[in-house]
Amino acid sequence: MTAITEFVSYEAEGDVGVITVDSPPVNALSFGVRAGIKGGIEAADADSSVSSVVLVCAGRTFIAGADITEFGKPPKAPSLHEVIAAMEACSKPVVAAIHGTALGGGLETALGCHYRVASPTAKVGLPEVKLGILPGAGGTQRLPRVVGVPMALEMITSGNPIGASKALEVGLVSEIIDGDLKEGAKAFARKVVADGLPLVKISDQNDKLKEARENPGMFADFRKSIARKTRNFEAPENCIKAIEAAVELPFPDGLKRERELFMELMQGEQSFSQRYFFFAERQAAKIPDVPKDTPLIDIKTAGIIGAGTMGGGIAMNFLQAGIPVIIVETTQEALDNGIAIIKKNYAATVSKGRMSQDAMDKCLSLLTGTTNLEDIKDVDIVIEAVFENMDVKKEIFTKLDAICKDGAILATNTSTLDINEIGAVTKRPEYVIGLHFFSPANVMKLLEEVRTDKTSKSVMATCMALAKRIGKVPAMVGVCDGFVGNRILHRRAEQATQLILEGALPQDVDRVLYDFGLPMGPFAMADLAGNDVSWRIRQGKGQKSPIADAICELGRFGQKTGAGYYLYKDGSRTPTPDPVVEDIILKASKDAGIERREISDEEILKRCIYPMINEGAKILEEGIATRASDIDVIWVYGYGWPIYRGGPMRYADYIGLDNVVKTLREYQEQYGDYWKPAPLLERLASEGKTFQDA
Ligand code: 3H9
């Protein structure tokens, strides 16, 4: 075996030259890998003992893409283009042997080979759009030449991979190899030689472009079909333009156009933020004081207390991950209702074609309901999801402590209460943790995990691993009122309310935040969540909020009652501004002695977003969040902050912390000390640093 570079080796195995990439963790196309593959091809071409070549990867996956850590650094030859060109030009058939995930530059590399074979569990895709870029090494030019334009449009603009059997069906791979992949790929390569099959250069193939050449309207239709989903994103449009170029231009010109469109995105703020977020998400899974090799508790079964909306949604995550769930309710009626809703949700997913009937049946077979708390005595983890009341939670945790086996994790889904206090009622506070799911719990990706002063490292490590197993993105935070997500949300809500008292209307505030990229503004969100929930909390705490209270006193609890801050006519979910609400607001302003004024969109945006940033700085300073990027992960996955703006903390870095501080100080002068910049924010700004340096 010859080492071509540190990460790539070449060996003649009989009459097949085998190039092996071995660059953990995901064989990304760093300089050493690119140079190695090119060198391997040159070695195979020059090796008279071999008549074909196989490109295979060691470890858990085929090449998972360009090395994202190299982005923004000066390019080093050979470029991926040169590597792919060398493969296409090789005088012997080159076969890519794909396992794991051939993604982005990885799939582009495979498309530069003359043939591709794959293991049955392999996946292939071009996910660049998720990083705010486009496939920049010929992917937009070659993929449509293999699978046709409609499918290429779908794959490249969604970034979603397809499985091996689909890849076989559409001709993206030639054979699925059961058993040893490398041996299968070698046998396939020998067959190509023996049967005298051509050295297929995808760049020469034009047949699959014919359909789009005859029907250029297909692009306009496609644009329309994804417009809502891709609102404000720049990358999908450039992806489409690049595929249009594949159809309209000869291959070399198409490549040039792809390059221009790629560079345009690469230099933009959106892709910078999206790449930042890729690493933020992976960082969030790591807790500095919990070593990687911390022993994990084996989670085989789960118990969920409460079959309401949250409990049911949480249960679905576990069921889908193949973990049996016992769900507990106080009455048979509530239990039956909860289970019926779970079934209804699954049935809806099946009817939309997003789940098979078999998968649904399998999930439901793992679900047991009970009204007897004792039935969960043997589960490995319990998640309590009853309503927010400290006394009720304490009572439940006292019982759980008595019932559950030693070593079981006792988690609460509270979104506000002090989990130290909850843990203190048990004899095992080190096994108590917060697992704050977001509604709808079977859909939202975020799991805000809350460590108490006593939570053990092993419980934390287990819950971080568990999150990944059930398809969630975790972020570990500390105990404080509202934890990270809702504490920041609260600041925004205060300002939204203040803005409508001073002169704006709900539709003004909501429009500005929607245009900024959030899925909806604070008032539409309140109507969706139900205004009665916060009303009851306010009543419990003896607090008042004149506008919100007046709206609730009219029974306007939001979408579910057909009216809230907006009207929802005939069961519609579309908010319509309502003069009744405007009257309530005008009266509230008058009662408060406020002379209403015109408020600009810019002021609305700053007044809503800057207090969030300031609160984020306080959260960091207090050590409630480990990193600024964890706060961003929470806001993107928990509240729909647009990923192309990275998260509130990344957005602050983008604006410049000195600018944020300047505006906060101006507001402080105008409106008082509520606006005083957090000391950490002031310090970073004065040192010319960003939150990422904190
Ligand atoms: C591209 O290809 C552009 C081209 O068109 C060419 C243009 C010229 N680079 O996710 P995991 C690290 S753009 C560098 O936890 P999993 C990751 O940070 C690229 N590092 O594992 C993590 O590091 P750490 C297109 C990468 O098993 C570790 O690997 N490709 C890269 O859950 C494990 O990652 C993509 O967008 C990379 N490309 O999932 C694919 N990928 O341990 C991106 C991963 O220090 N990658 N790392 O935290 C993925 O989707 C997942 O990582 C994958 C594995 C599915 C492969």
Residues whose CB is less than 8 angstroms from the CB of residue 295 and which lie 6 or more positions away in sequence, other chains included: 458, 461
The Å distance, Cα 124 to ligand 1 centre, comes to 13
- Per-residue pLDDT of 425-470, as tens digits, reads 999 999 999 999 998 999 999 999 999 999 999 999 999 999 999 9
Is residue 540 predicted with pLDDT exceeding 90?
A: no
Percentage, residues of the chain above pLDDT 90:
96
Q: Are 429 and 394 in contact (CB under 8 A)?
A: no
Secondary structure (H, E, C), 78-106: CCHHHHHHHHHHCCCCEEEEECCEEECHH
570 — pLDDT class (breaks 50, 70, 90): confident
* Residue whose CA lies nearest to ligand 1 atom number 8: 136
**Can you give the pLDDT at residue 504?**
98
**Can you give the pLDDT at residue 211?**
93
Closest Cα to residue 467, out of 278, 633, 275? 633
Q: Are 477 and 624 in contact (CB under 8 A)?
A: yes
- Segments of the chain assigned to CATH 1.10.1040.10: 601-686
Q: Quick one: average pLDDT of 545-559? A: 96
Q: Which atom of ligand 1 is nearest to the CA of 282?
A: 48
What is the greatest pairwise CA distance in the chain?
92
* Residues forming beta bridges with residue 389, ordered by sequence position: none
Q: Which atom of ligand 1 is nearest to the CA of 159?
A: 36
Q: Quick one: average pLDDT of 400-414? A: 97
Structure tokens at 98: 């794909």
- Residues annotated as part of the active site: 108, 128
The Å distance, Cα 159 to ligand 1 centre, comes to 13
Fold of 302-477: Rossmann fold (3.40.50)
Q: Which of 62-66, 213-217, 609-613, 675-679 has the lowest mean pLDDT?
A: 213-217
* Residue whose CA lies nearest to ligand 1 atom number 19: 65
Q: Quick one: average pLDDT of 410-418? A: 94
- For 262, the enclosing helix (H) or strand (E) is helix 251-266
**Can you give the pLDDT at residue 5?**
96
CATH superfamily of 601-686: N-(1-d-carboxylethyl)-l-norvaline Dehydrogenase; domain 2 (1.10.1040.10)
**Can you give the pLDDT at residue 416?**
87
**Can you give the pLDDT at residue 462?**
98
- The dihedral built from the CA positions of residue 25, 27, 29 and 34, taken in this order, carries a sign that is positive
Closest Cα to residue 112, out of 29, 223, 2, 14? 29
Q: Are 523 and 551 in contact (CB under 8 A)?
A: no
What angle, 0 to 180 degrees and rounded to 10, lies between the N-to-C axes of helices 648-655 and 657-671? 100
What's the ipTM?
0.98
- Segments of the chain assigned to CATH 3.40.50.720: 302-477
With 0-12 CB in 10 A as exposed, 13-18 as middle and 19+ as buried, what is 38? buried
Identify the CATH number of the domain defined by range 2-266.
Answer: 3.90.226.10
- Ligand 1 pocket by Cβ (under 6 Å): 25-26, 28, 61, 64-69, 80, 101, 103-105, 108, 127-128, 131, 135-137, 139, 279, 282
Q: Which atom of ligand 1 is nearest to the CA of 135?
A: 5
- Segments of the chain assigned to CATH 3.90.226.10: 2-266
Closest Cα to residue 638, out of 284, 246, 222? 284
* Substitution candidate for ligand 1 out of 7, 21, 26 with most atoms within 8 A of CB: 26
The Å distance, Cα 362 to ligand 1 centre, comes to 31
654 — pLDDT class (breaks 50, 70, 90): very high
Q: Tell whether domain 499-591 is in CATH 3.20.20.70.
A: no
**Can you give the pLDDT at residue 538?**
87
The Å distance, Cα 258 to ligand 1 centre, comes to 22
Distance CA 413, CA 472 (A): 15
Q: Are 81 and 36 in contact (CB under 8 A)?
A: no
**Can you give the pLDDT at residue 87?**
97
Residue 567: other Cβ atoms inside 10 A: 18
Distance CA 20, CA 5 (A): 11
**Can you give the pLDDT at residue 1?**
85
Is residue 694 predicted with pLDDT exceeding 90?
A: no
* pLDDT, averaged across the chain: 97
72 — pLDDT class (breaks 50, 70, 90): confident
Distance CA 146, CA 352 (A): 28
Is residue 522 predicted with pLDDT exceeding 90?
A: yes
The Å distance, Cα 465 to ligand 1 centre, comes to 18
Structure tokens at 271: 């892709």
- Per-residue pLDDT of 83-133, as tens digits, reads 999 999 999 999 999 999 999 999 999 999 999 999 999 999 999 999 999
The Å distance, Cα 160 to ligand 1 centre, comes to 14
Closest Cα to residue 420, out of 446, 393, 381? 393
Distance CA 310, CA 413 (A): 9
Is residue 388 predicted with pLDDT exceeding 90?
A: no
- Segments of the chain assigned to CATH 1.10.1040.50: 499-591
Q: Which atom of ligand 1 is nearest to the CA of 25?
A: 29
Q: Which atom of ligand 1 is nearest to the CA of 64?
A: 56
Q: What is the pTM of this model?
A: 0.95
